[in-house]
Amino acid sequence: MISKMRRVSDYKQLTKELPHIRYVDPEKVYINLTTSRCEEYQLNVEPGDTVRLGQILGEKDGCFFKQPIYSTVSGTVEGIEKKVDGTGIEVECLVIRNDFKDTYDSSITDRPDSVIDQMTQDDFVEIVREKALVGLGGSGFPSYVKLATEETIHTVVINAVECEPYLSSDYRLIHDQPDQIFQGLSYVMKAVKAERGVIAVKKTKKELINILEREVKRYDHLDIRIAKLGDYYPQGWEIETYKNALGIKVPSGVLPTKLGILGFNVSTCASIYDAVKHNMPITKRYLTINGDAVKFPQSIRVRVGTLVKDLIKLCDGFTDDAEQVEMIIGGPMMGQAVDTQEVIVTPTTTSVLVFKSITDKEEPCVRCGSCVINCPVHIQPVNIMSAYKRNDTVSMKQLEADKCIECGLCAYVCTSKIHVTDYVRKAKASIG
């Protein structure tokens, strides 16, 4: 049997061993008001207004959910400018000049444990909704929708696999703040009355396993275990994680919650802790700046709304021999290429990768079948690509392009250097 997973060099050594730096004091932050999902918004503030850290500035609208917009610094509202977000689209942003005082909004207060102990699922859901928490692994899906599940959940899985090459932001989070992760997990378990919690991590991350195993002893009143998974890509794809961590195969098209499993990315889990315990929305996050065109790659704790341009400066810019560079927001397999540094850090920005431009010319498809063999969801990337090129919607549907998880493996393995994933992604969007 041919495995549908692949060993992909992880290139993480460089950043995971560097001490991470904090860069939480940009002169200005750019808080996105629109996204590809929400094109409308209302604001409660106007230019000249003074705002506090964690203050509600308005609300995103125009999609199936409304989402409060929070300030990530204290300072003064300057106006609205267009920047680019991590999906490569232009978004409207509220510009706030930082006063470097970090004056907290009055809503940012600690919730006593005695109050948390009495909380129901609805209470947890309301906090997570109100604080606008989303999947921080990159999905951006509203966390309250997942947490509001009405299914009977037996196991909560925290996905700390971080299987994309170069990424080490989750690594830094677990390294620096393991207690937040266990606390966040205990809150989710309490909310959905789950008997078990599992933290899934790659078995090659020995330092993290030591940290997690040390920490888990402090939670021996709960049934929490650490699942050590193989070093393959896409091990972090939730279906693969559940199969290997729990031995449960989730059939295609079935929601994991139907089988009693509720999963969150590890950074999302920590954000749930911050929201529940401290009433804090997402104002900062860890991210990785890496790639062969960056002078000093770093793991950075950064304020949401910071410009990527400022972060590149912080890494001393590009290497001297990098005449032309390619920039990717997110991992090299699933990330989005952008052609500007005017990109904002959002809660879902896991990394910024910059590579020296390699002009890999696409060759004609040699029908080697490698993309088909390696596709983890068992679809036929090469045939979907052909159907897309001839605008054949019927075939794209028959070939189930909508099942693609955009893992990037088909492009990675393509012997002809064809950007197969881009074609499948476009096919998926055109029939979606």
Footprint on this chain of ligand SF4 (rule: CB under 6 A): 365-371, 375-377, 379, 381-382, 404-410, 413-416, 418, 420-421, 424
Q: How far is the CB of 396 from ligand SF4 (least distance, A)?
A: 12
Contact at 8 Å (CB) between 327 and 338? Answer: yes
Kindly state the smallest distance separating residue 413's Cβ from ligand SF4, in Å: 6
Shorter beta-carbon distance to ligand SF4: residue 34 or 370: 370
Nearest to ligand SF4 of 6, 196 (CB atom): 6
Residue with Cβ nearer ligand SF4 (165 or 376)? 376
Q: In terms of CB distance, is 175 or 243 closer to ligand SF4?
A: 243
Residue 137: CB atoms within 10 Å? 26
| 297-329 per-residue burial string, b: 16 or more CB within 10 A, e: under 16 | bbbbbbbbbbbbebbbebbeebbeebeebbbbb
CA–CA gap between residue 233 and residue 213 (Å, rounded): 24
> Between 331 and 408, whose beta carbon lies closer to ligand SF4?
408
Q: Which is nearer to ligand SF4, 197 or 381 (CB)?
A: 381
Q: Which is nearer to ligand SF4, 395 or 416 (CB)?
A: 416
CB of 201 to ligand SF4, least distance (A): 23
CA–CA gap between residue 430 and residue 107 (Å, rounded)? 43
- The CB-of-66 to ligand SF4 minimum distance in angstroms stands at 31
Of 256 and 260, the one with the shorter C-beta distance to ligand SF4 is 256
CB of 363 to ligand SF4, least distance (A): 8
Query: Minimum distance between the CB of residue 5 and ligand SF4, rounded to whole angstroms?
Result: 11
Choice between 4 and 196, CB closer to ligand SF4: 4
- Sign of the dihedral defined by the CA atoms of residues 392, 397, 402, 407, in that order: negative
The minimum distance between CB 407 and ligand SF4, in angstroms, equals 4
User: Please, what is the minimum distance in Å from the beta carbon of residue 6 to ligand SF4?
Assistant: 10
3-state DSSP of the chain: CCCCCECCCCCCHHHHCCCCEEECCCCEEEEECCCCCCCEEEECCCCCCEECECCEEEEEECCCCCEEEECCCCEEEEEEEEEECCCCCEEEEEEEEECCCCCECCCCCCCCHHHHHCCCHHHHHHHHHHCCCECCCCCCCEHHHHHCCCCCCCEEEEECCCCCCCCCHHHHHHHHCHHHHHHHHHHHHHHHCCCEEEEEEECCCHHHHHHHHHHHHHHCCCEEEEEEECCCECCCCHHHHHHHHHCCCCCCCCCHHHHCEEEEEHHHHHHHHHHHHHCCCCCEEEEEEECCCECCCEEEEEECCCEHHHHHHHCCCECCCCCCEEEEECCCCCCEEECCCCEECCCCCCEEEEEECCCCCCCCCCCCCHHHHHCCCCCCHHHHHHHHHCCCHHHHHHCCHHHCCCCCHHHHHCCCCCCHHHHHHHHHHHHC
Question: CB of 159: closest distance to ligand SF4 in angstroms?
Answer: 18
Nearer to ligand SF4, 261 or 409 (CB): 409
Of 216 and 405, which has the nearer Cβ to ligand SF4? 405
Minimum distance of ligand SF4 from residue 389's CB (angstroms)? 11
Q: How far is the CB of 379 from ligand SF4 (least distance, A)?
A: 5
